Amino acid sequence: MALRKIREIGDEVLTKRCKEVTEVTPRVKDLIGDMLETMYEADGVGLAAPQVGVLKRIVVIDVTGEDPYILINPRILESSGEQTGKEGCLSVPGKCGVVTRPNYVKVAAQDAALNPIVVEGEELLARALCHELEHLDGHLYVEKVEGALMDAQADEEE
């Protein structure tokens, strides 16, 4: 595994729609391993493939630091409720902003072996799921910030 360079806002790759993954090749396996390593190294709670320059529908999320989700081709099935809070992004370093998200989401995806899985999340996990899935369609949270971007601490970045 290796660390990959995290692309930052202004990089065109962050604005593109990512492609479905139909096969877990050795390259895709390496990518997933590298994404996990890169996320942990950066103290993030989530990372999407376009953030390391790869236009594939893959995200990794770990809100506890010990139990990562690997989600391939994820899509939101259900969402409900509302939460408003600070959010950050490893691709927008040093900044955070207030974003309103659903408080609960249910996501269908495939795991690293392309088996179908369903992940349900509330609060921070729901926020991370929404945030990371939007990366796969070329969107950044800054488009949704209420008010101005603020200076953030590293532990708030996703």
Residue type, 18: C
Is residue 80 a contact partner of residue 106, using CB atoms and an 8 Å limit?
Answer: no
The mark string for 83-112 relative to Zn ion (x by CB under 5 A, - otherwise) is ------x-----------------------
Q: In the bound complex, what is the minimum distance in angstroms from residue 66's beta carbon to Zn ion?
A: 21
Pair 86, 152: CB distance under 8 Å? yes
C-alpha to C-alpha distances, 113 to 25, 36, 78, 133, nearest whole angstrom: 10, 16, 24, 19
Region binding Zn ion by CB under 5 A among candidate stretches 18-26, 29-37, 111-119, 150-158: 150-158
Closest residue by beta carbon to Zn ion: 89
| Distance of closest approach, residue 115 Cβ to Zn ion, in angstroms | 26
Smallest separation (angstroms) from Zn ion to the CB of 134 = 8
Closest-CA residue to 53 (of 93, 87, 3): 3
Q: Write the CA distances from 74 to 16, 85, 151, integer angstroms.
A: 16, 23, 30
Taking residues 48 to 87 in sequence order and writing x for each that binds Zn ion by CB under 5 A, - otherwise, the string is ----------------------------------------
State the Cα–Cα distance between residues 8 and 128, nearest whole angstrom: 18
Catalytic choice (8, 41, 82, 132): 132
Question: Under the rule (CB under 5 A), what is the footprint of Zn ion?
Answer: 89, 158
Residues marked as catalytic: 132
